[in-house]
């Protein structure tokens, strides 16, 4: 029986399955443990189930000498120093696939809400400013027959593409193996949806020059990682009318602190990183994260391992 630390309560009953085989401690705070507290709690454990808001850096990996397995409750692993984990032979699990459709639904929901000014309409009614029906009240944009540009045609990007095709949109995309250049996509698209992973190369890929390439009627959607977009440049683009609007489920920084200029940008919808927040998707993520942890602790291949070579190196 191994000692396991879970950095937050997660939906479903997966942790109960984990606790049936190992000694489990769950952090019950509403916010994640501080870095110091994480080091303290993980210092004597063999297994760690963490969230994307937990910084699992080299310090954590080298300080927690008994740690054998990391399971990240997220579709990506940019919060984990995978190189440091691999050096120690620690497999890192993650939870792709199971949140694909939920995230694609949320992406298209943001696209529609921004195009048809749904949030503004709600605010008008609640503020008592809806006095009579007017032909020009809150005019938005059609979505059907427009061009949807997808940056990163992975699982989620493909799912969003299917939804766009269902709306009769022309779908264009960038990807590593096919597609068009980012510059061409930005120039042609009425809606740009970001689905690229966050890497050193992709950080800030949408900045001032890229936003200036977009149509003044275009809308930017980001449900991937906040670091893909230069927040300062996006604020200026919305203030100066370089683009018509944006809808973000993720931001940089995240969460957005009070007083940040992005909060005052016009024609912007902001969500608190909830694109995968359906009951079904989050429960599936919990099950996969626990399955990864159980397999890793048993010395078996994880169902979804980001660095499978780590286990091979340990054997």
Give catalytic residue positions: 225, 254, 273
CA 7 vs. chain centroid, Å, equals 18
Distance CA 271, CA 281 (A): 17
**80: which strand partners?**
56
Question: 12 Cβ partners below 8 Å, 6+ apart?
Answer: 282, 283, 286, 287
Whole-angstrom distance between the N-terminal and C-terminal Cα of the chain? 20
Helices (H) and strands (E) in the chain — how many of each?
12, 11
- Measured at the CA of 147, the angle between CA 142 and CA 153, to 5 degrees, comes to 130
What kind and span of H or E run contains 131?
Answer: none
Distance CA 71, CA 306 (A): 10
Q: Shortest CA distance to 273 belongs to which of 18, 92, 32?
A: 32
Question: For residues 151 and 192, is the Cβ–Cβ distance under 8 A?
Answer: yes
């Amino acid at each position: 029986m191994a000692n396991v630390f879970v950095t937050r309560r997660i939906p479903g009953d997966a942790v109960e399955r984990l606790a049936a085989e190992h000694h489990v401690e769950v952090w019950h705070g509403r916010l994640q443990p501080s870095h110091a507290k994480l080091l303290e709690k993980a210092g004597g454990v063999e297994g760690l189930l963490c969230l994307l808001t937990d910084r699992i850096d080299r310090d954590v990996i080298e300080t927690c000498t008994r740690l054998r397995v990391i399971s990240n409750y997220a579709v990506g692993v940019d919060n984990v120093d995978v190189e440091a984990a691999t050096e120690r032979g620690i497999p890192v699990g993650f939870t792709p696939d199971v949140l694909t459709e939920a995230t694609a639904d949320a992406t298209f929901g943001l696209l529609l809400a921004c195009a048809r000014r749904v949030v503004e309409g709600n605010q008008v009614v609640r503020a008592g400013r809806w006095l009579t029906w007017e032909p020009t009240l809150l005019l938005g944009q059609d979505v059907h027959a427009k061009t949807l540009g997808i940056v990163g045609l992975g699982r989620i990007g493909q799912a969003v593409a299917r939804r766009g095709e269902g709306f009769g949109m022309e779908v264009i995309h960038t990807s590593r193996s096919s597609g068009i250049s980012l510059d061409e996509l930005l120039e042609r698209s009425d809606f740009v949806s970001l689905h690229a992973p966050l890497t050193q190369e992709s950080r800030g890929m949408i900045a001032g020059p890229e936003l200036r390439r977009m149509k003044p009627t275009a809308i930017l959607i980001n449900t991937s990682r906040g670091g893909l977009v230069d927040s300062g440049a996006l604020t200026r683009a919305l203030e100066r009318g370089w683009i018509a609007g944006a809808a973000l489920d993720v931001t940089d920084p995240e969460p957005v602190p009070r007083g940040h200029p992005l909060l005052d940008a016009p024609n912007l919808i902001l969500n608190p990183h909830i694109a995968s927040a359906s009951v079904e998707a989050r429960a599936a993520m919990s099950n996969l994260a626990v399955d990864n942890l159980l397999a890793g602790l048993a010395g078996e291949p994880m169902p979804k391992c980001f660095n499978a070579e780590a286990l091979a190196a340990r054997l």
